[in-house]
Structure 1
């Protein structure tokens, strides 16, 4: 029986809060805080209606360390779950250190003024968390998160060494909108428009944004889709922790209509994060674009189809070559029926709940800053099957 403080009130947070409330034997007390308290209250009302559990809520500026420390000391949680924006990772880690509470997030830190996400800023907290006797678990979403656990599972049960890793993320859903992003538009577009990067023989190789593509045949009737090479943060930690890794890449599917809109918006400067002067106000064009695009949460009832996210891994077992595919398929409609969100939020929100569960039940413990692949994958893999993200594995 544990108390958890969840920061953020977007689509992922909504899923995580609902799923925590569905496991009251572990999450006996849930407190939700965000900059906009009305969003927290709406999630709390939905949770009450679906599960009967009461969720307490607060208004919080997550950039303000003192304000967060004050709330932590008032709520007295066993764990802080950060589902706010990546810009808030460092202030929330600072608050956890000051107030003496463990920390979990789903996405690594990104400076607001630079579209660059990497783990160096959070890795710098290793000694401070270790000395404080606290644990920080980074990237407990799907990718990063479950994809890291899939790699650890494969290392434990199927390989002596993994030489090649391709993480492939397919959203085969359709929401009928001309152009919309499935999670925070600002973060999503910053991620997609930056240069690609992959790990090859001990160094990073850069590519132009979305310059490389491949066709991949997805299982269970999803069929052939075009995937584009991108940089994704889990590659950075997997390159350190997976034995024998010679190449690691990340691929994501995009439809032609989406990419056409994106190129036009990029061409006229709407995806820029360089501030411009508009009527005497400094504004980032991307922040303006975010304000006029559909709210990702509104896509839940509109989205039909499935996601398929998994790892294709090639390596050695007992001296012979082996190739494995470990993946999950998630239905947008089923996710919406269960928790009122589409599958993109669901596939991130459920692993956030499971990561919290691993920490609160003592299955994953340690002092310092950790990644998902550094722990025993078995209890997490079992929980994925139990809490709505069943996985399959096939030898190719």
Structure 2
């Protein structure tokens, strides 16, 4: 039914192409490209062994727009799936506009020199994609992505209006390392150390990073400390959910992770500005990334489960109502299926499903779109079919905090 060019050969890219190969009736031709082709070749070997499907590989520096344009023209895809670094989003969008190809990513653009997570850079492309009769789908991961679809599913089927949204992201897995991140260390640490922000009554309220903590009992994981953070889907949900009064994002962290992170911050290893070292400039956080375990290598040792969901409050038939919708994903099950741990799995599977929505025409439109702007039902159906089943239940009342 369609040809895809996937850019990015980390854990998420690996999961996405494995799942695409398992859905060959939709993804007829798959090409995986990355700065280092040998990583693509290794993933292609795994895909062949697990599914019997052969995928093509290529080498590309996604910072190089002319080279990306040339690769897109060579491959001739119907869709470019950007699973590279968020810094490269705009370059890949430019290449898609030049070649007349639809675009999808899992994380919003951010500049290299500032940990600033905002959609305005990509939203500014709307008119250009609309004029070209192309679709750009932003944030087709889990959070952002599934959490946005969860929200619109609740709005469509369980609530007449939504007043508050709380997104709860828990990784209850243990990878056995003293300190490691479950996705790109540079992006992860930039995100965690940035000031927290949440949306309330039409304003953005900023608080120091990791300064607001709550305890929550996650199904199949247990009680965990979770911390208020900023995440980009808050911005798009505040824009697209009518009448939303408050939106917050929470993520769990263990005490050992936070202790290591505090030490690294205190000694300057999380800095994103360059410093001089032996006559050349280096960025401390990029050096730290190089010495930390590669996230894609953690799958074999990681055990436990993730639990990610949305709690929404609002009105139904004139009465207040609170609904909780969530998914639990097992690290070992994810590894058995794709050779990757659950954090990569919970992002890579929705990347595949979002791609399927576009290729099958179930989601369509000219311009730049966020996940919550489309009908949630076909996406929700594929989550159940493709390894991320969800549950929904009514709660006795809203969160007490």
Q: TM-score range by the shorter chain?
A: over 0.9
Determine the C-alpha separation between the residues in 2 that align with 1:64 and 1:152: 36
Paired residue secondary structure (2:271):
coil
Q: Which digits, 9 at most, give the CA deviation of each residue in 1:228-256, with x for residues without a partner?
A: 00000000000011122100000000000
Q: Superposed, which structure 2 residues align to 1:151-162 within 5 Å?
A: 151-162=151-162
* Structure 1 counterpart of 2:70: 70
* Structure 2 counterpart of 1:228: 227
* Structure 2 counterpart of 1:368: 367
Residue 212 (structure 1) aligned with residue 212 (structure 2) = yes
Determine the C-alpha separation between the residues in 1 that align with 2:277 and 2:222: 46
* Structure 1 counterpart of 2:32: 32
Residue 343 (structure 1) aligned with residue 327 (structure 2) = no
Determine the C-alpha separation between the residues in 2 that align with 1:372 and 1:305: 28
Determine the C-alpha separation between the residues in 2 that align with 1:44 and 1:80: 18
Shift in Å, 1:301: 0.4
* Structure 2 counterpart of 1:109: 109
* Structure 2 counterpart of 1:305: 304
Determine the C-alpha separation between the residues in 1 that align with 2:8 and 2:74: 18
Shift in Å, 1:381: 0.3
Determine the C-alpha separation between the residues in 2 that align with 1:146 and 1:218: 18
Paired residue secondary structure (1:315):
strand
Paired residue secondary structure (2:188):
helix
Determine the C-alpha separation between the residues in 1 that align with 2:331 and 2:59: 30
* Structure 2 counterpart of 1:130: 130
TM, length-normalised to structure 1: 0.99
Paired residue secondary structure (2:364):
coil
Determine the C-alpha separation between the residues in 2 that align with 1:124 and 1:242: 20
Q: Superposed, which structure 2 residues align to 1:1-396 within 5 Å?
A: 1-220=1-220, 222-396=221-395
Shift in Å, 1:80: 0.3
Q: Which digits, 9 at most, give the CA deviation of each residue in 1:92-121, with x for residues without a partner?
A: 000000000000000000101111111010
* Structure 1 counterpart of 2:398: none
Which runs of 5 or more structure 2 residues have no equivalent in the other structure?
396-401
Q: Which digits, 9 at most, give the CA deviation of each residue in 1:332-373, with x for residues without a partner?
A: 000000000000000000000000000000000000000000
Shift in Å, 1:170: 0.1
Could you list the structure 1 runs, at least 4 aligned residues long, displaced by more than 4 angstroms after superposition.
none
Shift in Å, 1:318: 1.1
Determine the C-alpha separation between the residues in 2 that align with 1:64 and 1:293: 27
TM, length-normalised to structure 2: 0.98
Paired residue secondary structure (1:77):
coil
Q: Which digits, 9 at most, give the CA deviation of each residue in 1:54-109, with x for residues without a partner?
A: 11111101011110111111111000000000000000000000000000000000
- Pairwise CA RMSD: 0.5
Higher mean displacement: 239-248 or 380-389: 239-248
Shift in Å, 1:223: 1.4
Determine the C-alpha separation between the residues in 2 that align with 1:296 and 1:276: 26
